[in-house]
Structure 1
Amino acid sequence: MIKAKTLVPALAAAAMLSGAAYAETELTVYTAVEAEDLARYAETFNQDHPDIKINWVRDSTGVITAKLLAEKNNPQADVVWGLAATSLLVLKTEGMLEPYAPSGLDALDPRFRDADNPPSWVGMDAWVAAICFNTVEGEKLGLTAPTSWADLTKPEYAGHVVMPNPASSGTGFLDVSSWLQMFGEEKGWEYMDALHANIGAYTHSGSKPCKMAAAGETVIGVSFAFRGAKSKAEGAPIDIIVPSEGIGWDMESTAIVAGTANAEAAQTLVDWSITPKAMEMYNVGYAVVAIPGIAKPVEFFPEGITEAMIDNDFEWAANNRSAILEEWTKRYDTKSEPKG
């Protein structure tokens, strides 16, 4: 028979071991996901993994990308969850990502993963370019709605166009890189020269131009389609226009930062990030997700989006990112909003 004095220390030791087994692991996660969605992402993940705490570091795509590159020799992040694939390709080239094949990888649309085996990153959802046009303000000013990117260079729109700065916004970068692909580099820069004459401001947020159009602060906001659909569902007097030449797009993606001390927890997060439950969560904010057949229709999301998406050369965009941003900044940054 075990004596009570012996049993108590044994139970205490077992409790301590149990507590150690379920001790909370903290992950530093860098992201460009909209700030309003972060609590929902963490809460949904913690329903399945309550033992992993996410500490978010959130900023725009350009800022997060620059921060990761600056920390190359002393990484601070464990995981990147929700950053443009074009940015993750830059990090991959720098040897900053830990290749990992998450559970459920085969369920993804092949476009939503790194081509290497094991992949260095996996996709979550896609966002696509669109024009938000305020019909009320446009009518007041006698402006017709544009139907193409070329239309945005018409003199009638002078001062009435707002778009994101590609150095800080992933949406801005997908616009610029897609124009260079669609029109060719020489004509692409000629187009942006003409467009610049009509720009009222370059914002540091991809959603802000559409929010401004929705609020009547500008007539035309170059943004992304889901933001337009959301604003229209909230009652904004806007049309969401898919330009006739085609539209750029990028995908939010997830990766493990090489050298993380929390590899097991990081793998758990990446595994979860491509589950059907995660895809349903992304679908609240994005109309296109990485697992086919999961996304539900989004009210006011424009038709013909999939057909309009260009054959985006992500490798080209990533490899030329620095040069593109340097040239863009030299030519157009004088109209950018102040940072901060």
Structure 2
Amino acid sequence: MRQTRTRLSASLVVSSLLAAPAISGEITVYSALEDEEIAAYLEAAQEAMPDLTVNVLRLSTGNLGARLIAEAGNPQADVLWGFAVTNILNPAIYDLLDTYAPESIDDLPEQFRDADNRWFAPIGYMGAFCVNTMRLEQIGAPMPQSWADLTDPAFEGEIVMPDPGSSGTGFLQISAILQGAGEEAGWQLIQDLDPNMAQYTTSGSRPCRMAQVGEYTVGASLSFVAMQGIEQGFPLEMVIPSDFAGFELEANALIRGSSNAEDARRFLDWTLSESAAQVYSENKALITLPGVPRSPLAAQAGLPDDLSEVLFPMDFATSGAQRDAIIERWRELVGR
């Protein structure tokens, strides 16, 4: 586990957050959640479970999936936390998960949990454009409202988006375009966007952070990163694409063969608790647990109360089944 410890120290040293004087349990958690989210959630988890030490390895969605598959013969983690459902549906990953129904699982609508209790998703994320309004004015381009608008030559070299092969955010964006426009028109739109792309990042949040500081005009990224930037006072406007606003569910699961299964189940129970829901409401735009109030950041950024008004109805099973083929095709056409 030396590599895991090294990555922890570089990304998020969670042991120090959740260590207690009298330790009764310790688990290793793999997560694709953003660092800021993990820190906020674990602060609440510490209050609820002060006797549990949680060691978290945070990786991008694509890298985490590859690690899980590589460790299939000798699992190194106990819990999978905040991982894209599209990726979980990959049989090579799905088969690594054990069945577990948390205490409050019946509170979660059926469409947000696995019929065989291999995973459940109390939260999700949605794609959004982070538009730097000052830079937009400088280049003289109109405010983009759709993916099609981003093909305007005025945006040449002014857009950044995530690589769908390494980022779950990038993959949901490409999937939404293909499902919404159809294969032929969708791939054509993706190719038409490419000349305006300055780069494709490995992180789903980085495009927004690059736009907020004025490196580029538009970062195709995540809604919650846009909401954070607006709240922090950056010259940002969040735009939910009017044509294909993709979203993804972030699922939790017990990894088969866990040597700390009892404590892993405690942690999974907590992720559906009122304690966790309170922190979700402060950080997420998409929460599947009933009765959780909308984030103040979401209201400030102008998200509607009913997200079904803006979200494209994603077919996660299709996305999961076609993931490898989509990524291969994307790399053939526009990958750099």
CA distance in 1, matches of 2:52, 2:156: 51
Q: Which residue of 2 aligns with 1:152?
A: 150
Query: Contact 1:79 / 1:257 at 8 angstroms: preserved in 2?
Result: yes
CA distance in 2, matches of 1:253, 1:30: 12
Q: Which residue of 1 aligns with 2:329?
A: 327
1:99-118 alpha-carbon deviations (Å, 9 max, x no partner)? 1111111111333211x14x
Evaluate the alpha carbon distance shift between residue 31 and residue 237 of structure 1 in structure 2; reply closer, same or farther with a 3 A threshold: same
Query: Contact 1:225 / 1:302 at 8 angstroms: preserved in 2?
Result: no
Query: Contact 2:167 / 2:203 at 8 angstroms: preserved in 1?
Result: yes
Q: Select 2:269's aligned residue among 248, 268, 271.
A: 271
Q: Which residue of 2 aligns with 1:141?
A: 139
Evaluate the alpha carbon distance shift between residue 32 and residue 129 of structure 1 in structure 2; reply closer, same or farther with a 3 A threshold: same
Q: Give the secondary-structure state (helix, strand or coil) at the position aligned to 1:251.
A: strand
Query: Contact 1:128 / 1:249 at 8 angstroms: preserved in 2?
Result: yes
CA distance in 1, matches of 2:133, 2:40: 33
Matched AA of 2:165? A
CA distance in 2, matches of 1:219, 1:266: 43
1:267-290 alpha-carbon deviations (Å, 9 max, x no partner)? 111111111211111222212212
Evaluate the alpha carbon distance shift between residue 99 and residue 61 of structure 1 in structure 2; reply closer, same or farther with a 3 A threshold: same
- What's the CA shift for 1:217? 0.6
Q: Give the secondary-structure state (helix, strand or coil) at the position aligned to 2:301.
A: coil
CA distance in 2, matches of 1:251, 1:318: 12
- What's the CA shift for 1:94? 4.6
- What's the CA shift for 1:89? 1.7
Evaluate the alpha carbon distance shift between residue 244 and residue 111 of structure 1 in structure 2; reply closer, same or farther with a 3 A threshold: same
Gaps in structure 1 of 5+ consecutive residues: 1-21, 335-340
Q: Give the secondary-structure state (helix, strand or coil) at the position aligned to 2:334.
A: helix
Q: Give the secondary-structure state (helix, strand or coil) at the position aligned to 1:320.
A: helix
Q: Which residue of 1 aligns with 2:105?
A: 105
Q: Which residue of 2 aligns with 1:260?
A: 258
1:186-228 alpha-carbon deviations (Å, 9 max, x no partner)? 2111111111111001111111111111111100110122211
Matches within 5 A, 1:114-193: 114=114, 116-117=115-116, 119-193=117-191
* Aligned alpha-carbon RMSD (Å): 1.6
Matches within 5 A, 1:239-258: 239-258=237-256
Matched AA of 1:100? Y
CA distance in 2, matches of 1:63, 1:71: 12
Query: Greater Rg, structure 1 or structure 2?
Result: 1
1:104-134 alpha-carbon deviations (Å, 9 max, x no partner)? 11111333211x14x1101121211111111
Q: Which residue of 2 aligns with 1:50?
A: 50
Q: Which residue of 1 aligns with 2:73?
A: 73
CA distance in 2, matches of 1:56, 1:155: 43
Matched AA of 2:244? G
Q: Give the secondary-structure state (helix, strand or coil) at the position aligned to 1:125.
A: strand
The alignment covers a number of residue pairs equal to: 311
1:234-291 alpha-carbon deviations (Å, 9 max, x no partner)? 1111211122213100021100111111111111111111112111112222122121
Gaps in structure 2 of 5+ consecutive residues: 1-21
Q: TM-score when scaled to structure 1?
A: 0.87
Q: TM-score when scaled to structure 2?
A: 0.88
CA distance in 1, matches of 2:39, 2:151: 40
Q: Which residue of 1 aligns with 2:4?
A: none
Q: Which residue of 2 aligns with 1:26?
A: 26
CA distance in 2, matches of 1:295, 1:92: 36
Matched AA of 2:259? A
Evaluate the alpha carbon distance shift between residue 41 and residue 120 of structure 1 in structure 2; reply closer, same or farther with a 3 A threshold: same
CA distance in 1, matches of 2:40, 2:126: 22
Q: Which residue of 2 aligns with 1:213?
A: 211
Query: Contact 2:176 / 2:246 at 8 angstroms: preserved in 1?
Result: yes
Q: Which residue of 1 aligns with 2:61?
A: 61
CA distance in 2, matches of 1:182, 1:289: 23
Matched AA of 1:257? I
Q: Which residue of 2 aligns with 1:318?
A: 320
Identity of aligned residues (%): 38
Query: Contact 1:143 / 1:157 at 8 angstroms: preserved in 2?
Result: yes
